[in-house]
Structure 1
Amino acid sequence: MEFLTKLALAFEHGGFWMWPILLIQVSSIAIMIERAYALFVRRKISQTQFALGFEESIRRGEMDQVITKAQAASAQNPVARAIAAGAFAAKNLGGKEEIQGKMDEVLLEENAHLDHRTGFLTMLGNVATLTGLLGTISGMIKSFAAVAFANPADKASLLSAGISEAMNATAYGLIAAIPALVAYAILQNRANRLAEDLNQGGLKVYNWLSYAYEPLTAYQIKTANAKSERNNEINA
């Protein structure tokens, strides 16, 4: 209880600029919570491992099975969307360039989701620091202006009040800025690891699709020729 009382007094003595810093702090905390949930709870470093489950089906040319399996798992595994896009391109004989283009399109979109709002933490941290500095300057200006026209007996109290406002604003600005900057480093590192895992899984699938593309094409041509011969025999 005593701590809260001291905190309330410090906030009151900090002057007007304590309120903008409070708004910045609340915004940064909201972003930290949302990003931590998105990157640590909803997303796992398991996309490469998930992609390994498609190797046998791709090598056998079972594109329909690959697409169905990938689409069913796309909600929990972002790499599944890239797998489905690449398999669909391979199924339609789009070529290696089209397979890569379709997969890259999905991977770029998924990687962009990893960085949503995280960059705001550095901005908010810097703004909180600068706002605290602005509160410091404002408090010092107010202090010296009051002292200049005050009675000698009141100068000490007015000067100490102005310095108190300046120091409280500086301290609160740093209190709001430091967690935001630390959280940015942690979240950015997590996002980079998730992106590496996602891209590595996508690259493995692309390599399998690329290697299986020519055999798959030959197999499809052979199957089509066999069907055509059977049809000709039936018609004859």
Structure 2
Amino acid sequence: MPTAALATTAPVADTSFVNTIVSFIQDGGSFMYPILLVLAVGVAITLERVIYLQGVKSKNRRIWADIFPLLTKAQFRQALELVRDNDAGIARIIGYGLERARSSRRFEDVELAMEEGLMEVLPRLETRTGYLATLANIATLLGLLGTIIGLIVAFTAVASADPAQKADLLSASISMAMNTTALGLIAAIPLLLAHAFINSMTTKIVDSLEMASVKFSNAYRLAASQQDQRRPDAE
């Protein structure tokens, strides 16, 4: 008997929750739908950015695990062959440095080439992230605008209503008008949190790229100094 009772009450609760949401949106008026559209666009951007950044992180880890042993052994030619046709961010940065090292032995030139590679990678990591904060602000403003317009309509309707019904009509109209502000905040808060989360992911990836650049520079300096020390012995 208890199991049967739970089975019969659970769908009723789910249906009541859905009906409450539908009624909440319908009572808010036409401004509810642009806010929902803004929220949907923000969620789509968030999912795309998270999937992309996770892919970038995993690619960078794989290529770094393959290339770091070559760098420590000063096998720069093999490392260049490994990163030349790879589209990972860290591969492009190391590739820029290795290509410049073939034509110039100056450490400054190699570091500038790697900075150039980092500047090329950064826009891809930050693409569309700033839209999330903008969409959060738009959702909040749409909610406020919907509330203001709803209040204007409500007061206009109450002005010509029966005096005995004015209080009830005004309270009902204000309650409906406030739905847009509530939905605007419901949409804005998750979008701001998503913006902060994606910014944090991007910062961690950039920090790892900069650390890899430093490790490559140190390995290149060590290899160059060792080659310079061997030349007098060979002579």
- Shorter-chain-normalised TM-score: which range? 0.7 to 0.9
Q: Which has the higher contact order (CA 8 A, sep 6+)?
A: 1
- CA distance, structure 1, for counterparts of residue 80 and residue 65 of structure 2: 17
Structure 1, gaps ≥5 residues long: 227-236
Partner of 1:229: none
Deviates more, 1:148-157 or 1:192-201: 148-157
The number of equivalent residue pairs is 219
Confirm or deny that 1:38 pairs with 2:38: no
- CA distance, structure 2, for counterparts of residue 57 and residue 211 of structure 1: 10
Secondary structure of the residue aligned to 2:120 is: helix
After superposition, residues 19-34 of structure 1 pair within 5 angstroms as: 19-34=33-48
- CA distance, structure 2, for counterparts of residue 208 and residue 40 of structure 1: 28
Q: Is the 8 A contact 2:71 2:79 kept in 1?
A: no
- CA distance, structure 2, for counterparts of residue 171 and residue 165 of structure 1: 10
After superposition, residues 48-87 of structure 1 pair within 5 angstroms as: 52-58=68-74, 62-72=75-85, 74-75=86-87, 77-87=88-98
After superposition, residues 73-222 of structure 1 pair within 5 angstroms as: 74-75=86-87, 77-93=88-104, 95-213=106-224, 216=227
**What value does the CA root-mean-square deviation take over the aligned residues?**
2.7
Instruction: Specify the code of the residue in structure 2 equivalent to 1:98.
Output: D
Higher helix share: 2
Secondary structure of the residue aligned to 1:43 is: helix
Q: Is the 8 A contact 2:31 2:146 kept in 1?
A: yes
Structure 2, gaps ≥5 residues long: 1-14
Offset at residue 18 of structure 1 (A): 0.8
Residue by residue, what CA displacement relative to the aligned partner does 1:34-60 show, whole Å, maximum 9, x if unpaired?
0111123442373765653232342xx
Offset at residue 71 of structure 1 (A): 2.2
- CA distance, structure 2, for counterparts of residue 209 and residue 29 of structure 1: 44
- CA distance, structure 2, for counterparts of residue 6 and residue 160 of structure 1: 19
Partner of 2:21: 7
- CA distance, structure 2, for counterparts of residue 128 and residue 219 of structure 1: 66
Instruction: Specify the code of the residue in structure 1 equivalent to 2:190.
Output: P
* Distance change in 2, residues 1:216/1:91 (3 Å): farther
- CA distance, structure 2, for counterparts of residue 40 and residue 93 of structure 1: 35
Q: Is the 8 A contact 1:71 1:84 kept in 2?
A: yes
Partner of 2:3: none
Secondary structure of the residue aligned to 2:127 is: coil
Residue by residue, what CA displacement relative to the aligned partner does 1:177-211 show, whole Å, maximum 9, x if unpaired?
11101111111111111110111001211232234
Instruction: Specify the code of the residue in structure 1 equivalent to 2:71.
Output: E
TM-score calculated relative to the size of structure 2: 0.82
Partner of 1:233: none
Instruction: Specify the code of the residue in structure 1 equivalent to 2:77.
Output: D
* Distance change in 2, residues 1:190/1:199 (3 Å): same
Q: Is the 8 A contact 2:143 2:180 kept in 1?
A: yes
Instruction: Specify the code of the residue in structure 2 equivalent to 1:56.
Output: T
